[in-house]
Homo-oligomer: A and B are copies of this chain.
Amino acid sequence: MQAFFAPRAIALLGASSSPEKLGYAVARNLIQGGYRGQVHLINPRGGFLFGRPIYPSLDETPGEIDLAILIVPAPATPEALRQCARRGIRAAIIPSGGFRESGPAGAALEEECLQIARQNQMRLIGPNCIGILDTHLPLNTTFLAPPPPLAGDLALLSHSGALAAAVIDWSRGQGFGFSRLVSLGNQADVTETDLLPGCAADPQTRVICLYLESLGDGRRFIETARQTVVQKPVLALKTGRSQAGARAAASHTGALAGSEAAFDAAFDLAGVQRFDTLEDLFDSALALAACPLPASGQTAILTNAGGPGVLAADALESQGLSLAAPGPETRQKLQAILPPAASSHNPVDMLASASPTLYADSLRLLLADENIASALVILPPSPVFPTEEIAAALLPVISSQPKPVLPVVMGSGLVEQTRAVFRAAGLPSYPFPERAVKALGSLWRRARYLKEEEQAAAPLKVASALDGLEPAEREKSPAWAGSSSDEMNLSSPPSALLSLLKKLPAQSGPLPTETVFGLLDAAGIACALPRLAQSAEQAGQIAAQIGFPLVMKIESPDILHKSDVGGVALGIDSVEAAQATWQRLLESARRAAPQAHLLGVTLQPQALPGQEALLGAVRDPRFGPLMAFGSGGVEVEGLKDLAFGLAPLDRRQAHKLLQKTWAGRKLRGFRSIAAVNEEAVVQALLRLAALAALEPRLAEIEINPLRVTVGGALALDARARLL
């Protein structure tokens, strides 16, 4: 990839001396943009441009060439690539359209280009893109009209060229710049994932911004992004939420996990911060590039007016930040310098008369307080002093200490100078308190992420709800058969499970309940394993073997929600009742679902009372198995109390999923809801995730409900579907 960002010489195929042609615009940007290497212009017609010769063909150019830019019509591109290959060029940018985006013929052309590149160890950016731009090298392979973006420390990798162009223009107006911009187009070869390591290594880049419309290889993105994020923040805007919708699904997990849940889980896993708007993304990117990270969420707000201070305070909570309580010593010192009617509480309101010195001294006091990890300084146009003098007085205080300080500069014409003062010092400023708070929230999220990653090696402390119980109480509710306290080792899964997986039916579709329970059981998840009775008489026999009370359920590959068809009966307490119920359930199901193929009725032990949860996995085409945990029962789709994460999970991730839902939080008890065995739920979740990761043909598998008591967890019902 080095050839793209540090080429020693560049060839422009399709250079043109007509100013309205792209081949002219690219030549202009290459040559006038300050690129220090050789630029060779090529066009069969020859001639001169910007005082340089235009070579009739690539073969006539002198010296070694690292990068080619192909401004040629789509059909001529394969031949141009072959010429480049012969000339020993290892990197090419194809701005032209007319490839995959235009239909099947274009897709075939794109595939041909890719094959040529693969055969010749050549990398391609594009087609259908704007190209790349490095403000420090400098290098500008685009055809965009000047001026180029300001030099800065943000990298932008964009799936949309038009968006990159609009962002360049907007960023100039906002006064911030970029280290690199890459427009990726159709991504026939090079993707955003390929470019991450280079951005991580680029000394000019401090923050990496992604504009994504899709992701090719989801798992590779996660791995690469994860390694990048430890070095530099990665921020992403991913479009397509509106098209995500619900997928065709047979389980609640499948119905509720749109593909966006998988993207959210993937970004979460990789430590990539996701944003919904470009404005939010760049607000945060600028803070991340300029500021140290806060050690906690405790924030001080310094203002010369009450209203904006309260606006800032209001916004803190949504970002996981809180209003710091300045220590008594700090408050005393503040009171000594503030006017009598001012507030030394946080937000610290110095009143409208606040001077540059008072701003600076107050900020210094706040930042010296160990209860305070960050500060927002609010500057509406001062009615008394030139606001830019306040900014100038604040700068030395901000730069002389290690806590992040974000300035809010409210207004427009009266405060342009003020913004410029901060900008010249490399500091962003924000026009509204809420936007500064969001940016500070981003700093705090990154601080937490890095801390968690650091601690990931350390063993996880699990506060078990059972720790406080008497041994007698623990034993009252014995662990269900099949529960195992050992974690499943994914590299050597139980052989019973492997042999069951080998015996899975070849056809796609729902699995019989017995098969699903068999898989769970083999994976070490305790189940109310049902036994199928194909006649009323057999039901009586099985009932006598299991004991009472019993649960009976209709069994059919065509019925997914058994209670919807009146196919469930509880509290069966005798052989006679089991026989009569067998008959009744069959008739009821036949009435409600006349088309369904009925296999019989299953019998299983009735579980002890306890809490309930849903555990599910659904295979995402891009990221593999996506796990769900949350409130189950029949109300799962109404309550939407579900959290998602990518399989396989580790204990830390499993606990995170639990904490994100009410179903998970209440496992440790809440008011009169008794605590149950949280660890048994974590175990079941880890095992289900391992099972889902193990068998790529599992489209969906769901336990609903998992009954949880003090003694353990029992899968009461489950369903699964094969791809």
Contacts and interface: CB of A to CB of B under 8 A. Distances in A.
A309 to B, nearest CB: 9
Contact of A240 (B162, B314, B380, B434): B314
13 contacts: A97-B341, A144-B383, A159-B307, A160-B305, A162-B306, A166-B308, A169-B411, A169-B415, A174-B412, A213-B310, A279-B432, A634-B672, A639-B639
Nearest to A566: B672
Interface of A: 97, 101-103, 143-145, 147, 158-163, 165-166, 169-174, 211, 213, 237, 239-243, 276-279, 304-308, 310-311, 313-317, 323, 340-341, 352, 380-381, 383, 410-415, 431-432, 434-435, 561, 563-564, 634-635, 637-639, 641, 662, 665-666, 670-673
A313 B97 contact: no
B166 A306 contact: no
Nearest to A565: B672
Contacts of A169: 381, 410-415
Given A307-B213, A313-B242, A413 B172 contact: yes
Nearest to A310: B239
Given A239-B311, A279-B435, A634-B671, 15 more contacts: A97-B341, A145-B383, A160-B305, A162-B305, A163-B305, A165-B381, A170-B412, A170-B431, A213-B306, A237-B311, A240-B310, A276-B434, A561-B671, A638-B662, A639-B641
A637 B340 CA distance: 43
Contacts of A412: 169-174
A239 to B, nearest CB: 4
B635 A239 contact: no
Nearest to A238: B314
A240 to B, nearest CB: 6
Contacts of A278: 311, 432
A340 B480 CA distance: 64
A313 B243 CA distance: 9
Contacts of A316: 242
Contact of A166 (B144, B380, B665): B380
A563 B638 CA distance: 27
A170 B410 contact: yes
Main secondary structure of the interface of A (DSSP, over half): helix
Contacts of A103: 341
A414 B145 CA distance: 10
Q: Which of A97, A158, A239, A435 has the most CB of B within 10 A?
A: A239
A285 to B, nearest CB: 15
B637 A671 contact: yes
A158 B213 CA distance: 42
A662 B634 contact: no
A100 B162 CA distance: 55
Contacts of A239: 307, 310-311, 314
A307 B162 contact: yes
Given A380-B165, A381-B165, A671-B564, A666 B638 contact: yes
B666 A635 contact: yes
A99 to B, nearest CB: 10
Q: Which of A305, A641, A666 has the most CB of B within 10 A?
A: A305
A232 to B, nearest CB: 24
Top 6 nearest A-B pairs by Cβ distance?
Answer: A173-B412, A160-B307, A162-B305, A169-B411, A166-B410, A166-B380
Contacts of A158: 307
A671 B633 CA distance: 11
A604 B352 CA distance: 64
A561 to B, nearest CB: 6
